Every structure is written in structure tokens, then in C-alpha cells.
Amino acid sequence: MSAKGTVKIETFESKLLKNNPLGDPHVREFPVYLPPSYYSSDRRFPVAFLLSGFTGWGMTHLNESFISENIPQRLDRLIAERKIKEMIVVMPDCRTKYGGSQFINSTATGKYEHYVIRELVPYIDSVYRTLPVPESRAVCGKSSGGYGAAVLAMKHPGIFGLMCSTAGDMAFEYCYMPDFPKSLTGLEVYGKGHAAVKHFISKEINKSQPKGKNFFDVLNLVAMSSCYSPNLAGVKTKGYGFDLPFDPVTCEPDRKVFDKWLMNDPVRMAELYADNLRKLRLIFVDAGIYDQFNLHAGARIFCSKLKSMRIRHHHEEFPGTHSDIQYRYDRTFAMISSKITG
């Protein structure tokens, strides 16, 4: 029987998340996968930070499915088959009351970018036998986790030297705007205009079931608005601390607000952070050609920008949607393994 890795559950008290605007916990639990030979050797290992998708968090990577492996099982198999080298894999918890932080700093949610970069990375290096250099440290994820991987790597190449983004949020006109009308329809179940948003936030984000047809469209709108267009002054005037990218009665786009969203779009950020992107040992971007959120288009546009700037990258597509694509982690970890030092 092949040797198996070990999963440690870390409890970390964050100074940066303490007293965050949403009152979310500043003490977080998250799993760390240690490869099979970690305890039988004294060597140091490369590290990959695996970021979760929207409404997910680190512990959900331990969930088993009838037809899909969890992350420790997947890593054990890939290592046993010699398809990847041994590595430590960290699975942070960056969820918020609204479902997710996009792994960026926001005055409406908290300092989640700094939480990862300034607290978790140094903590992992202090507790485990890592190779604490960017060429031995990767960041990866799918969906919102893929977005976070792209943004954190391009902003912090001195921390993460490798990046993999599977179906990451890119080209916001395609991945977010088409759902604005559905979000408006969902909002109107809870009232009209700003009052509906306030009611949704205060009364509907809970574990009660069943949820309405458009519940997750509204939740996604609230979460992304809190990340991309925070405005704490709105708490007094509207009852919530962010601006919507459209009129909550007519659905007419608010270009000033949506321009704030676009400032966080990897497609727009690529040129600004071109020099940082050139420093990365690996940029791997993939998406399913039937992605419901048009993220295959975003990936194509992002990679086209990289190509025009002569930035090395790998771009792949696969015959899938946005759902049930955990199997692509095989490709993610293989790509990381091929380029990571250690």
C-alpha cells in the first residue's frame, strides 16, 4: 500500500481579521496537507496554497464524494503515481458572511489579501519545513479561488512564484454582467431597491432551507459588490456598506461603480502588473469551453493580453462546464510540480 500524507488542522488567530466589518471570525481553522515523507525525513518541501471557490473554504477540500476524490486523496494518488513531486498544500479559510472575500482587501469585508500574504505565508514557513522562497511557493484555485490565485500572484511575485487559475473570474462584462437582471429578479422577492438589499443581508443569509430560485444570484451580487465597490458610508444611507453596479429598481448599469469593479479585473490588471507577471516561473490558465459564466472567454482574453506583452504562460481548455471540474486539479498540481523548485 502506498504511503499517505497527513492532514493537520491549524487554528490561527488573525490580527488583521480581528474586528472586521462583517463581524466574521478572526480565529480560523484550515487544513494543511503534509506529504508522505514529511515525518520520515528532515528535508524541506515546496508549498502550494490552494484557494477555495465562492462559498467554499479550506475544510471543504476534505469532503469526499461518491465520484470524486478529496484533495488529500488526490495528492496521495498523484504522488504515488509519480505524477507530482511531494509538496505541502495549504487550504486557507477566507470566507465571509457573504460567501467569499475574493482574497482581496476591502473596507466592506476585511483585509483578506494581507491575511494571506502577511500572516498565513509567514506562519506556515515558521511552523513547517518549507522552502521559503517564491520559486518554491505556488498559489492555485478554481472559480473565485482561480481569481484569487491570479491576483495574489500578479501583485506579489516576491511571495508566489507560480500561479494556476482554473475558471477564474476574468472579463467581468462577460462573467458578471449577464447575471445582473437575474440578480434584480431575485432581489425583488425581498422588497424594492435598497430596502430589498438591506432585507436580504439582514434576514436571508442563514442556514434556513429551501432557498429561493435566485438566492445565489443575489448572494453573488452582494459578495462581489462588497469586494469590488465597498462604500461604508452607505451603511447610514442605504443600510449596507457597498455600492451596486446597477440601479436596484431599473437594472440600469452604474458605470462609475462598475468601473471600480473593472479595476479588479485580471484582464485590466495584466498590463499594470506586466513586470510582476514576467517574474513568475509559471502562469497556467484553463477553463471549460461550456463554462456557464463565460470564463473560457475571460481566460482567452487574459492570455491574449499576456501573449501581446510576450509574457510566458500556458493556456488550456477542456470539454467541461463550471461545475464538477475538480478533476482539473490533477493538471494544476502536475503543472506546479513541473516548474516548482524543491
pLDDT 10s digits, 107-120: 999 999 999 999 99
| pLDDT recorded at residue 341 | 95
pLDDT band at 65 (very low <50, low <70, confident <90, very high): confident
Residues 116 and 257 in one domain: no
pLDDT at residue 36 greater than cutoff 90: yes
Question: Higher confidence at residue 212 or residue 248?
Answer: 248
325 is in which domain, residue-wise? Answer: 6-171+266-339
Mean pLDDT over residues 269-273, rounded? 98
Mean pLDDT over residues 46-70, rounded? 95
Q: Are 88 and 47 in contact (CB under 8 A)?
A: yes
Residues 44 and 128 in one domain: yes
Please write down the long-range contacts of 287-290, taking CB distance under 8 Å and 24 or more positions apart. Answer: 287/166, 287/167, 287/168, 287/317, 287/318, 288/167, 288/317, 288/318, 288/319, 288/320, 288/321, 288/322, 288/325, 289/317, 289/318, 289/319, 289/320, 290/319, 290/320, 290/321
Count of CA atoms in the C-beta half-sphere (13 A) of 23? 1
pLDDT band at 159 (very low <50, low <70, confident <90, very high): very high
Phi-psi region of 147 (alpha: psi -120 to 50; beta: other; left: phi over 0): alpha
Q: CA 39 from chain center: how many Å?
A: 30
Residues 281 and 167 in one domain: yes
Residues 120 and 252 in one domain: no
| pLDDT recorded at residue 66 | 86
Q: Are 244 and 267 in contact (CB under 8 A)?
A: no
Domain boundary pick from 262, 297, 321: 262
| pLDDT recorded at residue 287 | 98
pLDDT band at 40 (very low <50, low <70, confident <90, very high): very high
Is residue 229 in a domain? yes
Domain boundary pick from 228, 244, 262: 262
Measured over the CA atoms of residue 9, residue 14, residue 20 and residue 23, the dihedral's sign is positive
pLDDT at residue 161 greater than cutoff 80: yes
Average pLDDT, the chain: 97
pLDDT at residue 67 greater than cutoff 90: no
Task: For residue 269, give every residue at least 6 positions away whose Cβ sits within 8 Å of its Cβ, in sequence order, or none.
Answer: 151, 154, 263
Residues 310 and 210 in one domain: no
Is residue 143 in a domain? yes
Residues 164 and 301 in one domain: yes
Strands 27-34, 88-90: pairing kind: antiparallel
Residues 241 and 276 in one domain: no
How large is the C-alpha radius of gyration of the chain? 20
Domain boundary pick from 262, 288, 310: 262
- DSSP for 218-262 reads HHHHHHHHHHHSB-TTHHHHTSSSB--SB-TTT--B-HHHHHHHH
pLDDT at residue 2 greater than cutoff 90: no
pLDDT at residue 212 greater than cutoff 90: no
Alpha-carbon distances, residue 104 vs 114, 138, 301, 332, 341 (angstroms): 8, 17, 22, 22, 27
Mean pLDDT over residues 295-323, rounded? 98
Number of domains the chain is built from: 2
Residues 128 and 272 in one domain: yes
Is residue 1 in a domain? no
Is residue 307 in a domain? yes
Residues 49 and 193 in one domain: no
Is residue 185 in a domain? yes
Mean pLDDT over residues 223-234, rounded? 97
Residues 37 and 112 in one domain: yes
Residues 178 and 100 in one domain: no
**CATH code at position 309:** 3.40.50.1820
| pLDDT recorded at residue 43 | 96
Alpha-carbon distances, residue 130 vs 106, 134, 207, 216, 227 (angstroms): 30, 11, 38, 38, 31
Query: 125-141 pLDDT, tens per residue?
Result: 999 999 999 999 999 99
Is residue 291 in a domain? yes
Residues 46 and 159 in one domain: yes
| pLDDT recorded at residue 64 | 87
